[in-house]
């Protein structure tokens, strides 16, 4: 609630506050609808009715900024900070508006002051496109330091027995306009890769990408996978090495895995491509691939947990044919 008074009584002195609240609600609704001129008119009326509200002045600034008038937005933020000098949102917004207006020195000063407040998320600051003018200027780029991408690695805590599956999940939060690329390490230990699932969840300007790799235990010993190196444009992140124990009957000889496997990125097309002896085919959920490949790994691309693309990759001899079917219909058959 912007106005602190309930405004429910019959006191005529409260009428301006009631009207200011009504104007504020109308301004917010217009702003959400993209009607900038109407939003500015309503919010300007609100500030005239309640000129001591820093919040109302800040919202008027937001309306000006959305309309592309950063100078007026800065002036509104000046009013807000004059009433509430410790108002973090006004300080940060003015930094963004100053950066967009070209006042990089003023933007750097505001951002430096805002950064002293523990409530300000440094990763949010580093990915805010409004600060790109600061970020790209050699004199002020250090003010918008790029943090390391937050990477989470989850691995099993209990031993896995011969023939059972072991899954390691690696998740990273990154800007939605930058594709996350995983450098998948070759595992140390008796493991054979069987399935790779990549899941994408968009959260506003950010995206959470998770890679889940499932191996089958082929012997006994300590296995490890990592460290994980992830990049998203010019952002970087490092994930911890996942280690776990594998158990097998005494004297069992582990089978050789395919240590050379490189998991391809999603092509999002029903095609078969060859990289040396390794062939990758892509289709839609429910499709089936028929081929004489060995050490086949299943690939799956998901959006919010729902499969949108499936694939298969495996070693295929020269001249062998790959066939993709959907239900009883053959979609295509070719020799990559």
Contact 149, 120 (CB under 8 A): no
Sheet with 329-334: strands ordered across: 288-290, 322-326, 329-334
Write the burial class of residue 22 (CB in 10 Å: 0-12 exposed, 13-18 middle, 19+ buried).
middle
pLDDT at residue 241, as a whole number: 96
CA distances from 302 to 279, 309, 313 (A): 21, 7, 17
Q: Residue ranges of the chain with pLDDT lower than 50? A: 1-9, 259-262, 264-269
pLDDT of residue 270: 54
The topology under which CATH files domain 151-250+268-334 is: Immunoglobulin-like (2.60.40)
Taking a C-beta distance cutoff of 8 angstroms, is the pair 196, 282 a contact? no
* CATH fold of 12-141: 1.25.40
Residue-wise pLDDT for 97-127, tens only, equals: 999 999 999 999 999 999 999 888 877 888 7
Q: Give φ, ψ of 108 to 5 degrees.
A: -65, -40
Q: Which pTM does this prediction carry?
A: 0.61
pLDDT of residue 111: 96
Angstrom distance (rounded) from CA 44 to CA 249: 78
Q: What is the pLDDT of residues 123-162, one digit of tens each?
A: 788 878 899 999 889 998 888 877 678 899 999 999 999 9
State phi, psi for 74 to the nearest 5 degrees: -65, -45
- Domain ranges in the chain? 12-141, 151-250+268-334
Which secondary structure element, helix H or strand E, spans residue 302, and what is its range?
A: strand 294-303
């Amino acid at each position: 609630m912007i106005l602190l008074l309930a405004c429910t009584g019959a006191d005529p002195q409260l009428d301006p506050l009631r009207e200011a609240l009504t104007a504020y609600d109308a301004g917010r609704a217009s702003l959400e609808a993209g009607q900038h001129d109407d939003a500015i008119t309503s919010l300007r009326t609100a500030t005239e009715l309640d000129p001591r509200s820093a919040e109302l002045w800040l919202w008027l600034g937001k309306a000006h900024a959305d309309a592309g008038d950063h100078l007026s937005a800065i002036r509104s933020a000046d009013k807000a900070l004059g009433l509430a000098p410790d108002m973090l949102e006004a300080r940060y917004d003015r930094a963004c508006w100053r950066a967009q207006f070209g006042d990089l020195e003023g933007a750097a000063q505001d951002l430096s002051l805002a950064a002293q407040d523990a409530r300000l998320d440094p990763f949010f600051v580093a990915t805010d496109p409004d600060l790109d003018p600061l970020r790209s200027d050699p004199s002020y780029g250090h003010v918008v330091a790029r943090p390391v991408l937050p990477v989470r690695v989850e691995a099993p805590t209990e031993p896995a027995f011969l023939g059972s599956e072991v899954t390691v999940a690696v998740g990273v939060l990154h800007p939605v306009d930058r594709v996350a690329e995983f450098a998948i390490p070759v595992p140390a230990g008796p493991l054979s890769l069987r399935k790779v699932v990549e899941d994408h969840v968009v959260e506003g300007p950010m995206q959470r990408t998770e890679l889940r790799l499932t191996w089958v235990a082929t012997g006994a010993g300590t296995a490890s996978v990592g460290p994980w190196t992830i990049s998203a444009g010019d952002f970087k992140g490092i994930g911890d090495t996942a280690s776990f124990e594998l158990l097998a009957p005494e004297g069992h000889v582990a089978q050789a895995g395919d240590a050379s496997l490189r998991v391809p990125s999603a092509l999002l097309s029903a095609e078969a491509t060859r990289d040396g002896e390794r062939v990758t085919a892509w289709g839609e959920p429910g499709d089936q691939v028929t081929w004489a490949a060995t050490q086949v790994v299943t690939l799956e691309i998901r959006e919010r947990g729902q499969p949108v693309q499936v694939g298969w990759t495996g070693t295929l001899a020269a001249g062998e044919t790959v066939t993709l079917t959907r239900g009883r219909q053959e979609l295509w058959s070719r020799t990559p």
